């Protein structure tokens, strides 16, 4: 299933690919995420896209939102002072209390150099918030090299 995330960012324009499993039991209501991979680890600015893949698990299934104006995915480029936020659609039926787990892949396009040099390195920290306001643990990617 391909889901387009709304929101405008000068740095990132992600797309999520989501694979999910809905389980019949409930568990910890605080979401947990774990990094699977980031690829490639070297990109040419404005040409290549980064794909960050991570797993998620939520004990009560309240990840994502049916209101596209509510952004619950936070992505922090370590070179910047503030993170960017993105929309995530509901990962389970709204109002249901069911444990879910799955995998998401974010496609970060148009990553660029901030300075005037020909090369920079950065990493990204990602976390997700559920509808109850619980933030997941943060995950940090390995360093990525950006070239001109």
For the chain, which residues make up each domain, given as ranges? Answer: 2-147
pLDDT above 50 for 15: no
In this prediction the pTM is 0.81
Class of domain 2-147: mainly beta
pLDDT above 70 for 113: yes
**Which tens digits make up the pLDDT trace of 50-102?**
999 999 999 999 999 999 999 999 999 999 999 999 999 999 998 889 999 99
Within 10 A of 122 (CB to CB), how many other CB atoms are there?
17
**Which tens digits make up the pLDDT trace of 119-145?**
999 999 999 999 999 999 999 999 999
Place of tokens 């299934």: 61
């Amino acid at each position: 299933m391909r889901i387009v995330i709304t929101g405008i960012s000068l740095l990132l324009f992600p797309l999520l690919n989501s694979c999910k499993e809905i389980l019949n039991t409930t568990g910890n209501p605080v979401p947990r995420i774990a990094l699977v991979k980031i690829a490639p680890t070297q990109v040419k600015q404005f040409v290549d896209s980064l794909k960050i893949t991570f797993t998620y698990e939520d004990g009560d299934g309240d990840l994502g939102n049916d209101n596209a104006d509510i952004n619950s995915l936070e992505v922090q480029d370590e070179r910047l002072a503030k993170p960017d936020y993105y929309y995530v659609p509901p990962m389970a039926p709204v109002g249901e209390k069911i444990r879910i787990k799955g995998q998401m892949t974010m496609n970060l396009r148009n990553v660029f150099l901030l300075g005037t040099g020909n090369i920079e390195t950065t990493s990204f920290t990602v976390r997700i918030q559920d509808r109850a306001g619980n933030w997941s643990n943060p995950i940090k990617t390995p360093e990525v090299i950006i070239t001109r």
